[in-house]
């Protein structure tokens, strides 16, 4: 494709960036990314992917904006309370960059729709706060051979990982979800709002790097952040040969939706 004069101005800082340039920007404009969750993590992801010029961005979220979201979900504003999050996100993203096509899915990811929603996209970003959805994203992406970034935040900390086919998946690290009694949510323990921005921007960066073909990804790694000590740590882990999903003899061949779904307002 050939960039217009306006696009050359808009993406100038990418075009002059050593190791990025025109080819990488064209790849972004031709790419499709699905964002699962338009909340704390999804907000900075959506804004930065739109600004970067990712050609098509899908957003899956069945929730509406509540006043408790506004402490960290920077996509949304006070007048948006009560509106569907995907509707607000679409308006904000296209106001930032009319180049971007935003597809909205006002629903929650489920075992019934996950494969169909994920299949058309090149990269998937999980920005949800519940294990039921995280395992659905992980399992569907591995089954479909899709790359993804998975993030989570709670209290003063956060963590994330990236998967591409042939690397460790979420189940290699956490084979099964925790017991319901062991799950903390933002609604029960709180979360420092600004860490959503810190982790979400890393997820957006991983996505851009993958699509543009630059740099090294957080594959086979878990990146953690502690805001109280202001420390980032990266832990390496390997793909497990006995992983029930991506191992040598997988036993998981269809999606299973775990019953509990904590905290609706992410």
Cα angle, residue 43 at apex, residues 37 and 48 outer, rounded to 5°: 120
State which fold the 31-236 domain adopts: Rossmann fold (3.40.50)
Which region, left, alpha or beta, applies to residue 174 given φ > 0 means left and ψ of -120 to 50 means alpha? beta
| C-alpha–C-alpha distance, residues 117 and 97, integer Å | 23
Instruction: Give me the count of residues in the chain.
Output: 266
**pLDDT (tens digit, 9 = 90+) per residue, 233-244?**
999 999 999 999
**pLDDT (tens digit, 9 = 90+) per residue, 110-160?**
999 999 999 999 999 999 989 999 999 999 999 999 999 999 999 999 999
pLDDT at position 264 is 44
**pTM confidence score:** 0.94
Domain coordinates of the chain in residue numbers? 31-236
Per cent of the chain over pLDDT 90 is 89
Strand-pairing partners, residue 231, are 226
**3-state SS, residue 17:** coil
Nearest residue to 170 (alpha-carbon basis) of 160, 178, 179: 160
Q: Give every strand in the sheet of 123-126, ordered side by side.
A: 101-105, 56-60, 32-36, 123-126, 147-154, 157-163, 221-226, 231-236
| C-alpha–C-alpha distance, residues 80 and 47, integer Å | 17
Half-sphere exposure of 76 (CA within 13 A, CB side): 30
**pLDDT (tens digit, 9 = 90+) per residue, 59-105?**
999 999 999 999 999 999 999 999 999 999 999 999 999 999 999 99
């Amino acid at each position: 494709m050939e960039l217009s004069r306006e696009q050359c101005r808009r993406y100038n800082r990418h075009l002059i960036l050593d190791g990025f340039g025109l080819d990488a920007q064209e790849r972004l404009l031709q790419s499709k990314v699905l964002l699962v969750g338009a909340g704390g993590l999804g907000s900075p992801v959506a804004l930065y992917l739109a600004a970067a010029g990712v050609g098509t961005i899908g957003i899956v979220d069945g929730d509406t904006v509540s006043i408790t979201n506004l402490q960290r979900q920077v996509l949304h504003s006070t007048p948006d309370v009560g509106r569907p999050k995907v509707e607000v996100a679409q308006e904000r993203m296209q106001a930032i960059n009319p180049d971007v096509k935003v597809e909205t899915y006002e629903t929650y990811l489920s075992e019934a729709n996950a494969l169909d929603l994920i299949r058309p996209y090149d990269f998937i970003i999980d920005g949800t706060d519940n294990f039921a959805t995280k395992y659905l994203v992980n399992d569907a992406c591995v089954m479909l051979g899709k790359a993804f970034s998975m993030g989570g935040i709670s209290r003063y900390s956060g963590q994330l990982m990236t998967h591409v086919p042939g690397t460790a998946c979420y189940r290699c690290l956490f084979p099964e979800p925790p017991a319901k009694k062991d799950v903390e949510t933002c609604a029960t323990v709180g979360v420092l709002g600004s860490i959503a921005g810190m982790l979400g921007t890393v997820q957006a960066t991983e996505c851009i790097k993958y699509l543009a073909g630059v740099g090294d990804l957080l594959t086979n790694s878990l990146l953690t952040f502690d805001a109280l000590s202001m420390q980032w740590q990266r832990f390496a882990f390997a793909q497990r040969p006995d992983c029930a999903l991506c191992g040598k003899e997988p036993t998981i061949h269809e999606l299973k939706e775990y019953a509990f779904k904590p905290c609706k307002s992410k």
